[in-house]
Amino acid sequence: MASKSLIFVGLCLAYMATWSQISAQNNNNVLFETINFLRRGQADVELENYDNNVILDSEYDFIVVGAGTAGCALAARLSENPQWRVLLLEAGGPERLVMDVPIVAHFLQLGEMNWKYRTQPSDHACLAMNNNRCNWPRGKVMGGSSVLNYMMYTRGNRRDYDRWEALGNPGWSFKDVLPYFKKYEGSSVPDAEEDYVGRNGPVKVSYVNWRSKIAEAFVDAAQQDGLKYRDYNGRIQNGVAFLHTTTRNSTRWSSNRAYLYPLKGKRSNLHVRKNALVTKVLIDPQTKTAYGIMVQTEGRMQKILARKEVIVSAGAINTPQLLMLSGVGPAKHLREVGIKPLADLAVGYNLQDHTAPAVTFTTNATSLKFEDFSDPTLINRFNRMEGPYGSPGGCEAIAFWDLDHERDEDGWPDIELFLVGGSMSSNPAISRAFGLKKSIYDTLFAEIEDKSLNAFMIFPMILRPKSRGRIMLKSSDPFKYPLIHANYFAHPYDVDISVRGLLKAISLMEQRGMEKINARLWEKKIPTCKQHPYKSWAYWACYVRHFTFTIYHYSGTAKMGPKSDRAAVVDHRLRVHGIKNLRVADASIMPEIMSGHPNGPVFMIAEKAADMIKQDHGFIQ
């Protein structure tokens, strides 16, 4: 641990030195230099599991497409059978050591480890973003989006999974999936409910060893509003707590780190190839059986066969894209782009996401400002695994409310508030990552930066949105990005609950906890909402449609359900309907998005999928 601490210190010093050199430059240079720093960051060669020099076989038992949250877990679990040869393919490169430092999460979206997707333009959402298009980050790196995300660990509500089963998916109730949550969790959260927590799994979960006065005020205010402080991953979700994070000792715990790092040099039957883009799943048109893949790696296209199964774990954007490129999807749409349909399924439909219109507040307490991290005393504190370096992008505390049933202690929450101890003005790269229009930034946030005010944000995240979007192919070219129709706020409920969540966040300023830090709403008006009386419901609805911040929870685009469900793509064992030897295991199988951050549930999906595959192929441990 000491040697790793020194590496971290060196990285942080280099990062902060780089940042201090460019902080006075314009935004374009800030962006450019940050991207370059992330690109040239040192790979974790001490632990990175496999390099690109592995000689690929022409055939494997299982091919797993995508080394993200699910893919790393699946490959590790399937390769537990020494008789099976497993290939894991990832379009991106290795993790860099700087990616392991939680506080720099904001900046990772600027580097090449992000696919940098954008939604199609909208006239009713993403209105504060450039060209009315929301940035949709996705991990293009070993570990996938578990390397880009904000490490916020939540399971959701038990009713989410009971609902999955009720929709025709036996084996997915909460009592069925709880053992898989506990299997992968390596939680050190001291006050976690012992009947609901896993202590010995590969994915480390912990509190952050540092808390700001702002976070303490938020937790106090939520309790004064009526919530209890509790383990929100336990029996009851409604409540408030300091954030549970997928970190350990101020280090990001990605899926790659959790599942593949420990296997270095130990699994000759597992091959991993980075910088390998799978362009097609090969399917026999007569037997409707998947038998391999086409992959571009090292500048050439290669065919690799699968004796048993191809498992697609490329995420809720890339998975439907790959399925459609392979002839699995809506027949009419596939024909329109020149692809012969092999299975007419609703691939790409049912797209869901959580949004949160961040609200900004000023305070007399100290907020996070990224230039402050050049302070040598903070570097030294980080060397002792203390200080704000372990804070995941400044996210510190979280609270869940069932606004429709506020007196029901064990309700099914419809809104989550999470606190970030900084603001859009904490660093110019943050607004760039979100894609904010300069005019919007200058009007609403520049004064905070100019006056060096302390400010923080609360994100009211809607938990059970009713709007549904769609992923579509732009063409049959696998190197062209798909079309993302987010369709935010197509259902009026989503606007309504967003406004109610926003008002709940503002109401917390009236509680004693927030009064102690003199927290005040930052009352700058959006010019394009001036037709509505300030602070009216209509004004806040306009605000919500402008600040449509994705929380990166894309899901549902290869829906799990019975064959009788015309919207279903996979069955309850994650097998693609109508195609043999092809499965999907990632967030795209969620029939309905769960009430929280899905990174944890995707680990669960992968663990359960691995067991189902082992059962189906006769491997009993």
Instruction: List, for residues 222-251, the tens digit of each pLDDT value.
Output: 999 999 999 999 999 999 999 999 999 889
What integer pLDDT is reported at residue 6 of this predicted model?
43
Average pLDDT over residues 45-50: 56
CA distance 410 to 315: 32
Query: Which of 74-88, 260-274, 570-584 is the least confident region?
Result: 260-274
Average pLDDT, rounded, for the chain:
90
Q: State yes or no: pLDDT of 384 exceeds 60.
A: no
What integer pLDDT is reported at residue 27 of this predicted model?
45
Whether the Cβ atoms of residue 461 and residue 299 lie closer than 8 Å to each other: no
Q: State yes or no: pLDDT of 46 exceeds 70.
A: no
Q: State yes or no: pLDDT of 372 exceeds 70.
A: no
- What is the per-residue pLDDT across 202-219, written as a single tens digit (0 to 9) for each? 999 999 988 999 999 999
What integer pLDDT is reported at residue 19 of this predicted model?
38
Q: State yes or no: pLDDT of 5 exceeds 50.
A: no
What integer pLDDT is reported at residue 36 of this predicted model?
54
Catalytically annotated residues = 553, 597
CA distances from 594 to 87, 121, 136, 174, 462 (A): 30, 26, 19, 12, 11
Q: State yes or no: pLDDT of 306 exceeds 50.
A: yes
Residues comprising the chain, all counted:
621
The band of 47, judged by pLDDT with boundaries at 50, 70 and 90, is: low
Instruction: For residue 204, list its beta bridge partners.
Output: 186
What integer pLDDT is reported at residue 430 of this predicted model?
78
Reduce the DSSP state of residue 455 to 3 states and report it. Answer: strand
Query: Which of 30-44, 250-264, 332-346, 394-408 is the least confident region?
Result: 30-44
What integer pLDDT is reported at residue 409 of this predicted model?
94
What integer pLDDT is reported at residue 17 of this predicted model?
40
CA distances from 288 to 319, 334, 582 (A): 19, 17, 10
Nearest to 355 by CA among 509, 67, 124: 124
Q: Is the pTM of this model over 0.85?
A: yes
Query: Which of 25-39, 109-123, 438-452, 586-600 is the least confident region?
Result: 25-39
- The DSSP element (H or E) to which 505 belongs, if any, is helix 492-507
The band of 292, judged by pLDDT with boundaries at 50, 70 and 90, is: very high
Q: What share of the chain is helix, strand, coil (3-state, %, to 5)?
A: 35, 20, 45
Whether the Cβ atoms of residue 432 and residue 110 lie closer than 8 Å to each other: yes
Average pLDDT over residues 138-152: 96
Please report, in range form, the residues annotated as the binding site. Answer: 141, 278
What integer pLDDT is reported at residue 253 of this predicted model?
96
Instruction: For residue 43, list its beta bridge partners.
Output: 96
- What is the per-residue pLDDT across 498-528, written as a single tens digit (0 to 9) for each? 999 999 999 999 999 999 999 999 999 999 9
Which tokens sit at 204?
Answer: 């480390």
Whether the Cβ atoms of residue 519 and residue 361 lie closer than 8 Å to each other: yes
The band of 37, judged by pLDDT with boundaries at 50, 70 and 90, is: low
Which is higher by pLDDT, 453 or 376? 453
Backbone angles phi and psi of 423, in degrees to 5 = -135, 180
What integer pLDDT is reported at residue 222 of this predicted model?
98
What integer pLDDT is reported at residue 38 of this predicted model?
52
Q: Which CATH number does 209-242+356-464+489-547 carry?
A: 3.30.560.10
CA distances from 445 to 425, 456, 519, 587 (A): 6, 12, 16, 34
- What is the per-residue pLDDT across 60-118, written as a single tens digit (0 to 9) for each? 999 999 999 999 999 999 999 999 999 999 999 999 888 888 988 888 888 889 999 99
Which tokens sit at 78?
Answer: 């399937």
What integer pLDDT is reported at residue 13 of this predicted model?
40
CA distances from 243 to 215, 356, 401 (A): 10, 17, 16
The band of 49, judged by pLDDT with boundaries at 50, 70 and 90, is: low
State the residue for tokens 């510190």: 396
Please report, in range form, the residues annotated as the binding site for FAD. Answer: 141, 278
